[in-house]
Amino acid sequence: MNETRRSERARTAILTATGELIGELPYPKLTIEAIAARAGVGKQTIYRWWPSKGAVVLDALLERDAGSELPDTGDLRADLRPLLRGAVTALTDPVTGGFLRAMAVEIQQDAGLAREYRERLLLPQRATVAARLAGALPAGADPELAVDLLLGPIQMRWSLGLGGLTEAYADAVLEAALTALPPA
């Protein structure tokens, strides 16, 4: 058997197992042993490719996140509405929300993983939104601040467990943020 094919098969099995377990177990009960058992590989196979449980979880999260460009139809509200509603859906989904909760825990404890999370997931996502906003903002407006106004309330409500993350809430955040950001 080709070593590359076997390695790719094991990698896929590990990331799939991680995703399944994130949806089934509280994060503290997710272990490298559990991932290895579900994937049908040895722990050493996991540690050969990832330095920690958090690193495996990040790669599994990135496998799920296909990434996408925001449309530019000329209607900023219509273009941003699916983004904010999608954020609410992701955060309230047991699996995707579980991945994100796991990352929130891990990046507080592992500076290297926090850097990887920012560079590989968070900053590219923010750059996509900021790029879409840039042309719609007045000269001198800070696109990063606009991203914070759009996504910050949703992130805060989720991270503090306040509930109420609905499409209606996402729509209200969008309206409030766009009211605060005068058009270009």
* Same domain as 31, residue 121: no
* Same domain as 117, residue 46: no
Compute the distance between CA of residue 62 and CA of residue 154 in angstroms, rounded to an integer: 21
* Same domain as 39, residue 95: no
The answer to the question of residue 58 being in a domain is no
pLDDT at 1: 47
Amino acid at 12: T
The answer to the question of residue 59 being in a domain is no
Amino acid at 89: T
* Same domain as 107, residue 152: yes
3-24 vs 32-39: helix axis angle to the nearest 10?
120
* Same domain as 144, residue 80: yes
Q: What is the pTM of this model?
A: 0.79
* Same domain as 97, residue 131: yes
The answer to the question of residue 60 being in a domain is no
* Same domain as 157, residue 74: yes
* Same domain as 70, residue 45: no
**Can you read off the two tokens belonging to residue 58?**
């990040």
Domain range for 81 = 65-180
Residue 3: pLDDT above 90? no
* Same domain as 82, residue 39: no
pLDDT digits (tens, 9 = 90+) for 4-22: 556 999 999 999 999 999 8
The answer to the question of residue 57 being in a domain is no
Contacts of 85 (CB under 8 A, 6+ apart): 167, 170, 171
The answer to the question of residue 128 being in a domain is yes
pLDDT at 74: 84
* Same domain as 107, residue 38: no
pLDDT digits (tens, 9 = 90+) for 84-133: 999 999 899 888 888 888 889 899 999 999 999 999 989 998 998 888 88
pLDDT at 11: 95
pLDDT digits (tens, 9 = 90+) for 24-64: 988 889 999 999 999 999 999 999 999 999 999 999 988 87
Tell me the CATH number at 119.
1.10.357.10
Question: Distances in Å between the alpha carbon of 1 and those of 4, 46, 141, 151?
Answer: 9, 20, 57, 47
The answer to the question of residue 94 being in a domain is yes
The answer to the question of residue 111 being in a domain is yes
pLDDT at 5: 59
* Same domain as 115, residue 79: yes
pLDDT digits (tens, 9 = 90+) for 132-169: 888 788 778 888 899 999 999 999 999 999 999 999 99
Overall number of domains in the chain: 2
Q: How far is CA 67 from the centre of its chain?
A: 10
pLDDT band of 23, cuts 50, 70, 90: confident
Whether residue 106 contacts residue 61, with contact meaning beta carbons closer than 8 Å, is answered with no
* Same domain as 128, residue 89: yes
Whether residue 65 contacts residue 47, with contact meaning beta carbons closer than 8 Å, is answered with no
pLDDT at 67: 60
